[in-house]
Amino acid sequence: MLKKITSAVFLFVFLLSLFCKDALAHTTTVENSGENRYKAIRLTPEIYNHTNADLSDLRIKDASGEYVPYFINSGEQKDYEVDKQTYPMTLINSYTKDEHFYFDYQVQELPDRDIVATFIEVSTRNTEFAKNIELYGSYDNINWEFVQSDTLYSIDGKSKLNIDFHNIQKYTHYRFQLANNLEKISFETVTLAYNYATQENIYFTESIVPTFSVTEENKKTIVNVQGLYHLKLAEITIDTDSMFKRTVQTPYGGNKELYNLSLNDTSYIDTTIFYNGQVVKDHDFLITINNGDDKPINVTGITVKYYTDELIFEDNGSKSYTLNFEENNTVTSPVYDIVKYKNEILKGNIDHLDIGEVIFDEPVKEPESYDYKTIFNVVVIAVACLLGGMILLKLRKKS
């Protein structure tokens, strides 16, 4: 009889301890596909929002429930300047035709090989101007072909005096066509240039359009962006149809002057705040726009670009895999041998698998009147008293 009571009491205590447990466990199913030996899963904002900042709580299991070794590939961007060449140009003609103004330039000294260029750059003493440029190219100064259009400007201390080509160009002559030249703009120098750079192990980046709310307080517009918790930020862009030029404060980004201007049929837009992979540490991400005495701007949207990671593992033939995660700072990252030869793995072909719907395991919410910890302590004390009394009673009977 005593053994049955003791077993029942311990079973009750065990079940009660399960109710008192607060740990969460979230899962998503990943269907297997592809023929390569190694697989990659790109992590999503939903996963980042509910994991440890260092991803130490991530675990992956196969269809039979066995843990699968993995490593995290974050990528690393390194820029190498392979070659750079400049070609100074000389003004050979300037004229006005049909209300358009033209500058024609040719390369001063032609090299023995073909000229290749990735951009053209000018310098000028003129300030406070903005000009739409139509750029043409020629090999003989007779037949001209359209290259591309762009805008050159110098206004409020900000300037853009170069045109980056969409494709590599090989012309020896270039023509600038301006709609007009009322400002009497002239170029001190014009330089054709070739700059080739390569990258190794680029960062993985993704973009999202998160939800946000806007409030007005003390001449400030406060934008509360949701869903950025634990993301590694690259940049945030404010979408607006308002014309403005104001300072903005954000976490990790400091102060920056943003503007959206339209002057003399030319637009000047910079509404993007750049970051350097800072990890968001709070659930609320506040962007504060200083309005002064002006009317608050109309924020129509927020676009976030962030750095993401890939979880890479060896396929063991399972039909599907389950990714488990829970924001639990008591766990540490697993140590697998696969990390030791990850560089060799990354040189080969890897199949990228799609993440399914994330299933969140939320804790059961009980009425506030129930204090399970107190109940647990009371039960333990009661059990101890009951067992003590039963033992004394049995000893008396024996005596």
The string of DSSP letters for 328-382 reads: -TT------GGGGGHHHHHTS-EEEEPEEEEE--PPPPPPTT--HHHHHHHHHHH
CATH of domain 206-308: 2.60.120
pLDDT at position 180: 85
Q: How confident is the model at residue 199 (pLDDT cuts 50, 70, 90)?
A: low
Which comes out higher in pLDDT, residue 19 or 342?
A: 342
Task: Reply yes or no on whether the pLDDT at 19 is more than 60.
Answer: no
Domain ranges of the chain: 23-74+309-359, 79-200, 206-308
pLDDT at position 17: 43
The phi, psi pair for 351, rounded to 5°, reads: -80, 135
Q: Report the range of poorest mean pLDDT among 16-25, 163-172, 329-338, 368-377.
A: 16-25
Q: What is residue 398's three-state secondary structure?
A: helix
The answer to whether the pTM exceeds 0.85 is no
Question: 24 and 327 in contact (C-beta within 8 Å)?
Answer: yes
What would the pLDDT profile of 232-247 be if each residue is shown by its tens digit?
999 999 999 999 999 9
CA dihedral 242→247→249→254, nearest 10 degrees, is 140
pLDDT at position 370: 54
Nearest to 193 by CA among 331, 357, 81: 81
User: Cβ-count burial of 85 within 10 angstroms (0-12 exposed, 13-18 middle, 19+ buried)?
Assistant: middle
Q: What is residue 278's three-state secondary structure?
A: coil
Nearest to 168 by CA among 99, 118, 217: 118
pLDDT at position 93: 95
The structure tokens listed for 243 are 């014309």
d(CA 226, CA 224): 7
Which comes out higher in pLDDT, residue 221 or 81?
A: 221
The structure tokens listed for 34 are 């592809």
Q: Report the range of poorest mean pLDDT among 51-55, 250-254, 292-296.
A: 250-254
Residue 398 contacts by C-beta under 8 Å, 6 or more apart in sequence? none
Summary count for the chain: helices (H), strands (E): 4, 27
Question: 298 and 30 in contact (C-beta within 8 Å)?
Answer: no
Q: How close are the terminal C-alpha atoms of the chain, in Å?
A: 19
Question: What is the residue-averaged pLDDT of the chain?
Answer: 86
Q: Report the range of poorest mean pLDDT among 78-87, 116-125, 179-188, 329-338.
A: 78-87
d(CA 229, CA 119): 40
Q: Do domains 79-200 and 206-308 have the same CATH topology?
A: yes
Q: Which CATH architecture has domain 79-200?
A: Sandwich (2.60)
Task: Reply yes or no on whether the pLDDT at 325 is more than 90.
Answer: yes
Residue 234 contacts by C-beta under 8 Å, 6 or more apart in sequence? 203, 205, 274, 275, 277, 305, 306, 307
Which comes out higher in pLDDT, residue 263 or 188?
A: 188
